[in-house]
């Protein structure tokens, strides 16, 4: 019981950013998730740039439910034997624009009511990964590195790629359709 109280106190610290619904711009969706970017200006930290992204799980699909189980099992509460159902999460992503790489920095997990399940602190140990061409991640990187919002229309068409859904891979799918990056 004491552990639960400590976790709740950690989640209410002032360093956990709070976002309004209007802070997000819809980018695209996969069979399992909807992707958004934060419209506030990305933060430059030395040679890298950090931006916030939002992922909402599509709980009306089998793929979304699988992804919910996978992501929910990543939380500390699940490790402690609690029943956790993550419905969405925000993540801060760091981009190395010159090397075309990214890595996650922070995660904030939410339930279906928007309550914080867990807010993980900034972590410098995530590995750098390449940004795949014609991917949602590439669109988000362009926004972060060039501060260009994508147009408010369908940006990418995708075919289902099960290799990254509910498999422990990146939450961003490799997109196989054309990208419009006006």
Give domain status of residue 7, yes or no.
Answer: yes
CA distances from 175 to 161, 164, 171, 172 (A): 8, 11, 12, 9
Mean pLDDT is lowest, of 12-21, 94-103, 108-117, for 12-21
Does 175 reside within a domain?
yes
Write the pLDDT tens digit of every residue in 134-143. Answer: 888 998 898 8
The CATH number for 129's domain is 2.40.128
Structural domain includes residue 130? yes
Is 169 contained in some domain? yes
Tokens representing residue 61 in the block: 């699909």
Q: What tens digit of pLDDT does each residue of 27-61 get?
A: 888 899 999 998 888 888 889 999 999 999 999 99
Q: Which domain holds residue 169?
A: 1-15+41-182
Evaluate whether residue 23 is within a structural domain. no
Quote the radius of gyration of the chain (alpha carbons, Å).
Answer: 16
Q: Which residues contact 177 (CB under 8 A, 6 or more apart)?
A: 134, 156, 157, 158, 159
Share of the chain above pLDDT 90, in %: 41
What's the rounded mean pLDDT across residues 79-97?
92
Lowest mean pLDDT among 76-90, 97-111, 155-169: 155-169
- 33 in any annotated domain: no
| Within a domain: 53 | yes
Nearest Cα residue to 100 out of 134, 141, 155: 141
The answer to pTM > 0.85 is no
> Who contacts 131 (Cβ-Cβ below 8 Å, separation ≥6)?
95, 100, 101, 102, 137, 138, 141
Is the residue at 20 inside a domain?
no
pLDDT of residue 69: 93
Q: Dump pLDDT digits (tens) for 154-175.
A: 444 444 444 444 444 444 433 3
Instruction: Give the integer Cα–Cα distance in Å for 5 and 138.
Output: 39
Number of domains forming the structure of the chain: 1
């Amino acid at each position: 019981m004491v552990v639960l109280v400590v976790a709740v106190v950690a989640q209410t610290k002032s360093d956990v950013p709070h976002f309004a619904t209007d802070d997000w711009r819809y980018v695209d969706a996969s069979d399992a998730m909807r992707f958004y970017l934060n419209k506030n200006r990305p933060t430059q930290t030395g040679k890298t740039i950090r931006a916030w992204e939002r992922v909402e799980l599509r709980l009306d699909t089998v793929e979304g439910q699988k992804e919910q189980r996978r992501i929910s099992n990543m939380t500390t509460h699940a490790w402690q034997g609690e029943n956790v159902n993550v419905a969405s999460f925000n993540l801060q992503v760091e981009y190395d624009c010159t090397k075309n790489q990214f890595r996650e920095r922070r995660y904030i997990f939410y339930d279906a009511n928007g309550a914080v399940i867990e807010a993980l602190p900034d972590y410098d140990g995530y590995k750098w990964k390449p940004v795949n061409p014609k991917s949602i991640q590439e669109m988000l990187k362009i926004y972060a590195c060039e501060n260009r919002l994508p147009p408010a229309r369908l940006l990418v068409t995708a075919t289902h790629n099960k290799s990254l859904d509910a498999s422990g891979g990146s939450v961003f799918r490799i997109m196989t359709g054309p990208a419009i990056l006006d």
